[in-house]
Amino acid sequence: MTFTDIIGQEAVKRRLIDDVIQQHVPHALMLCGKEGTGTLPLAVALAQYLLCSGKEPMTQQPDMFGGDFFGEPEPTPPVNTRQPMLDHACGHCPSCVMAEKLQHPDLHFIFPIYKKQSGKASLCDDFGQEWRDLLLQNPYMGYAEWMQTSGATNQQLMIYESESDAIASKLALKSSQGGYKVCIVWLPEKMNAVCANKMLKLLEEPPSQTVFLLVSERPDLLLQTIRSRTQVIEVPALTQDDIQQTLEHKYGILPEEAHRIAHTADGSMTAALRAITNQDDNDDYFELFVSLMRLSYMRRVKEMKQWSEQVAAMGRERQKAMLRYCQHMVRENFIYNFHREQLNYMSAAESDFAVRFAPYINERNVIGIMDELQLAQRDIEQNANAKIVFFDFALKMIVLIKNR
């Protein structure tokens, strides 16, 4: 993966490239950004650039027979006759070939996993094939995609202490290709306490020629001591235009649809890709949203209980996705009341529904509903009992929807 594979983020790319050219690469760098901004592919591209042995052209030999032999000596050429370093990985040296397949022996990955057998230690290496396959196929994958590919069901993924031991012994060895050793830690906030402390030790006394690239979505959850050992680079959300262009040119989405998806993706390529690949899921969420609104309006408490049980059976990641979808619908229906079509981003079915439903979302209840949705989202993220969370939310909707 090279910097040309990265969507947008020109300023961040420039900074990373300049750091390498000026040999200012810190031994630990933390790329912080929300899901879908490209922090992970940026780290992988930087790793390949660091490992590339073809980016420094050969030093030019001074021409022994040059110059005017009989006349005045030619002006002395500048001392530095080296060509400037390439500002991208060459793409064809042995290091690049291995890095492109994510199989460079000096490129190490740490990421959250689950224990394949309870009580037995598992290592990231046990998931190496799945990890490489997913990352190569979709560099903009998020936690949900990794959960699915790794075969996790409902368990929370974690980085265990066995991982910090394993990486410490790998990095203690000399690099196999004679250059840098690079260790990418995806979602370091998922390290358990023992692992985090061992990682801190590694960052305090880094092995020689080693660069740690931490890729974090929630740096606030990390030990302050770890954060202060790294150079932090904030990676901003992608622009709507960057996402739209990518959807049109790389995924062949028609401009109007690409515009709508890019708008709702909220700066996240991961969200945009989910929208095009999970259309079926979105249809499900739409049905669920519509039925909840009807049941709340009609105060059908018994059926609302069944509704919350149905949602509770879906699995955490889909529940979170559904709650995000509901927030999108509430926002769009609120805006629909202003009759400014260019501000609305809904599919045909959603627009049809909005004709009748939008008046029920107004300035008296919109904030209350959004607050309840965010509260439910937080509770689900913190592993609260989903049946209770969703039933509670449904009951609150009875009161809120009545506020017409």
Give the residues lining the site for Zn ion (CB under 5 A).
52, 54, 89-90, 93, 96
DSSP string for residues in 164-175: HHHHHHHHHSPP
Shortest Cβ 31–Zn ion spacing (Å): 22
CA gap 338, 333 in Å, rounded: 9
Shortest Cβ 337–Zn ion spacing (Å): 56
Q: Looking at beta carbons only, is 28 or 98 nearer to Zn ion?
A: 98
Shortest Cβ 85–Zn ion spacing (Å): 12
CA gap 317, 141 in Å, rounded: 14
Do 233 and 17 meet the contact criterion of CB atoms below 8 Å apart?
no
Q: Looking at beta carbons only, is 21 or 93 nearer to Zn ion?
A: 93
Q: Looking at beta carbons only, is 100 or 257 nearer to Zn ion?
A: 100
Shortest Cβ 101–Zn ion spacing (Å): 13
Q: Looking at beta carbons only, is 179 or 315 nearer to Zn ion?
A: 179
Identity of the amino acid at 157:
L
Sign of CA dihedral 50, 53, 55, 57: positive
CA gap 158, 188 in Å, rounded: 9
Place of tokens 């890729």: 215
Terminal Cα-to-Cα distance of the chain (whole angstroms)? 53
Place of tokens 């390290």: 191
Shortest Cβ 342–Zn ion spacing (Å): 46
Identity of the amino acid at 310:
Q
Number of other CB atoms surrounding residue 326 within 10 Å: 24
CA gap 58, 237 in Å, rounded: 39
| 3-state secondary structure (DSSP) of residue 213 | strand
CA gap 42, 234 in Å, rounded: 12
Which long-range contacts (C-beta less than 8 Å, at least 24 apart) are formed by 129-133? 131/102, 132/101, 132/102, 132/103
Q: Looking at beta carbons only, is 52 or 222 nearer to Zn ion?
A: 52
Give every CB contact of residue 41 below 8 A, 6+ residues apart in sequence.
Answer: 1, 5, 6, 139, 140
| 3-state secondary structure (DSSP) of residue 315 | coil
Q: Looking at beta carbons only, is 91 or 315 nearer to Zn ion?
A: 91
Place of tokens 């030999």: 61
Q: Looking at beta carbons only, is 89 or 265 nearer to Zn ion?
A: 89
